[in-house]
Amino acid sequence: MMNYQEAMHYLEGTERFGSRLGLERMQELLGYLGSPEKGRLCMHIAGTNGKGSVSAYSAYMLAAAGLRVGLYCSPYVYDFGERIRVLDGRDPEGKWKTDPRDGQISEEAIASTLSEIRRQVEKHHMTGPSHPTHFEMLTLMAFLHFREQDCDVWVLETGLGGRLDSTNVIPAPKVAVITAIGLDHTSRLGNTYTEIAGEKAGILKKGTEHLLVYDQYLAISDKQEAAKVERLFKEKADALGIEISFHRHDEIEILSHSLDGQTFRLKSKPSEIYKTKLLPGFEADNADLAIKACRALYPAISEEEIKEGLALCYWPARLEKLSDDPVVLIDGGHNPQGAKALRLSLQGLFPEGRPEVHVCSIMKDKDQDGMFRQVFAGGFLERIYCTAPQGIARASRPRELAEKAEKVASRMPPEERPAVYAAGTVKEAAEKALAYCRETGAVLVAWGTFYQAGEFREALYEILGRKA
């Protein structure tokens, strides 16, 4: 058996196989591994934005209800183990395990699962083009680990799309969830909202009992397109005999929000008050969607268990507060929808307006112009430092990204244009942005990709003299 270092080296080596959509390799390998995915109670979550939040909310609530929950999500932000977690809620004394790292897959489990996968790959000569991709290897690891840990329920977030995503080898999940649809990964999933929605709807199967769908009128500004997307989901669900319900934004009443989280209630249950540590934006909408999904999956869940799970849910780099003095926020939003959510969140947190300085990294294949237009529309951005995380070939070079930002800024009134700078490293950007915030009292916001998050946090804490 490989040790942990050998296992991680082997896993990293699979990145050379790129991303290849399709289920054949997964189906073949799972057969060799004893079909760990069969006979499992599953919640399967697809969408463009909000998948991670809905997955995390659901896992925490189900764990609060006493279930042993396997949570598989992507990407990781700070620790590799974030991707594969087992949440069982309470310790032997009945107290909640509140450390975010509780339940992360161990080094020993990583080594043992990857060793078994590698043995089967080599035994059956699945080399070269037939070798499983990096994401397929991660998915196989999760499935083996959840079987080994005897999880009561699996909460699975798709990686890319749905129909041909590696996670879609599972039999019909009891509950499927579709979050907000946006124009992302268009080269792989289609150029229209309905084409992308059709790929996401590929997780629906005969035998699935419930489909919960996000309010697409909130996600898609073109109401005709939103109607088409919702109609597509309804027609697909009806054809498969799946009960469908739509989350609606107007069902939610926000009671309070601050840098410490928010409280809200649902019009259907006005006496119940829900709290979450995740910051404003559309998190209450994601929370409501997760509540509905958990009730469908596990009808015995109580209101107290729902509240407890929501209140304790931790999900990194989703407008996460890293510092109070100065205020530093980090967000992984990586498309125009995510950028819009960030802007609206900042407006909600600082309704009086507050100067902002941003640090951003964006991947080459993203709609950079659309993201800058959304963020710049807030009207309080004074400076933006464009940079790139180390070792990420997909990231735009700082100078190229700054030129894109400058082009968007040039179309704004002169008095509203932010100053644009290029910073060679994330640490350099963090240092300069932090110095400006200390001088002016501005809010520091890092955004654009999850790839930047860990490096930015490490740099920030080093500058502030804090431990991560």
pLDDT tens-digit profile of 297-315?
A: 999 999 999 999 999 888 8
Distance from CA of residue 383 to its chain's centroid? Answer: 27
Q: Give the least confident one: 15-24, 208-217, 418-427.
A: 15-24
**CA geometry: angle 192, 197, 366, nearest 5 deg:** 55
Q: What is the pLDDT of residue 353?
A: 87
Q: In percent, how much of the chain has pLDDT > 70?
A: 96
pLDDT of residue 283: 83
**CB of 230 within 8 A of CB of 213?**
yes
At 334 the pLDDT is 83
Residue 198 has pLDDT above 70, yes or no: yes
Dist. CA 263–CA 310, nearest whole Å: 10
* Sequence-separated (6 or more) residues with CB below 8 Å from residue 120: 29, 32, 33, 126
- Reported as a single tens digit per residue, the pLDDT across 39-90 is 999 999 999 989 999 999 999 999 999 999 999 998 888 888 899 999 986 6
| Whole-structure pTM value | 0.90
**Mean of the per-residue pLDDT values for the chain?**
91
Any idea which of 8-12, 28-32, 91-95, 213-217 has the lowest mean pLDDT? 91-95
Q: Burial letters for 153-164: b for 16+ Cβ neighbours within 10 Å, e otherwise?
A: bbbbbbbbbbbb
The burial class, CB within 10 Å (0-12 / 13-18 / 19+), for 150 is exposed
Q: What is the pLDDT of residue 466?
A: 81
Confidence bin at 100 (pLDDT 50/70/90): low
Q: What is the chain's length? A: 468
Q: Measure the CA–CA gap between 267 and 247, rounded to whole angstroms.
A: 12
Amino acid at 82: E
Asked if residue 278 has pLDDT above 80, the reply is: no
Query: Does 438 score more than 80 pLDDT?
Result: yes
Q: How confident is the model at residue 183 (pLDDT cuts 50, 70, 90)?
A: confident
Domains for the chain: give ranges and CATH numbers. 4-312 (3.40.1190.10), 320-464 (3.90.190.20)
Q: Which amino acid is at 120?
A: Q
Assigned token pair, 114: 């990857």
Q: What is the pLDDT of residues 115-148, one digit of tens each?
A: 999 999 999 878 766 788 999 999 999 999 999 9
Average of pLDDT values for 250-259? 90
Q: Residue 125: its pLDDT value, please?
A: 79
* pLDDT score of 184: 79
What distance in Å separates the CA atoms of residue 345 and residue 100, rounded to the nearest whole number?
A: 24
Reading the block at residue 38, the tokens are 């069969």
Residue listed under structure tokens 């996460």: 320
pLDDT at 131: 86
Q: What percent of the chain has pLDDT over 90?
A: 71
CA–chain centroid gap for 77, Å, is 10
List, as one string, the DSSP characters of 189-252: H-SSHHHHHHHHGGG--TT--EEEE--HHHH-SSHHHHHHHHHHHHHHHHHHT-EEEE--GGGE
Query: What does residue 97 show for φ and ψ, rounded to 5 degrees?
Result: -85, 110
- Give the pLDDT score at 127: 73
Quote the pLDDT of residue 381. Answer: 95
pLDDT value of position 290? 97
- β partners of residue 258: 261
The confidence score (pLDDT) of residue 185 equals 77
The pLDDT, as a whole number, for residue 280 is 58
Q: What are phi and psi of 360, to 5 degrees?
A: -135, 145
Residue 14: per-residue pLDDT: 85
Tokens of 325: 């003095």
CA distance 129 to 393: 22
Band of pLDDT at residue 413, cut at 50, 70 and 90: very high
